[in-house]
């Protein structure tokens, strides 16, 4: 998966997770709140993976320029 795809999927999961948490809180549904938090954390991890891939690519590009 590309870094952009990871970042987009991560942002979507974070947004959906936040909505689930809000709905769970509004309806006093602990299970939905927990699912939302888990999805938000998954999204955060996906975005972090996308950022890491960008970092690796930047380092590789810089190394190529030095050669």
Output the pTM of the full model.
0.81
Distance from C-alpha of 35 to C-alpha of 6, rounded to nearest angstrom: 20
**What's the number of domains the chain is made of?**
1
Domain that residue 23 falls in: 3-66
15's CB contacts (< 8 A; 6+ apart) are: 43
Interval 6-40: pLDDT, tens: 999 999 999 999 999 999 999 999 999 999 999 99
């Amino acid at each position: 998966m590309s870094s952009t795809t990871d970042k987009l999927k991560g942002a979507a999961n974070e947004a959906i997770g936040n909505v689930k948490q809000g709905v769970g809180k509004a309806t006093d549904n602990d299970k939905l709140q927990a699912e939302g938090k888990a999805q938000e954390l998954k999204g955060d991890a996906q975005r972090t993976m996308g950022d890491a891939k960008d970092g690796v690519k930047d380092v590789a590009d810089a190394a190529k320029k030095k050669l």
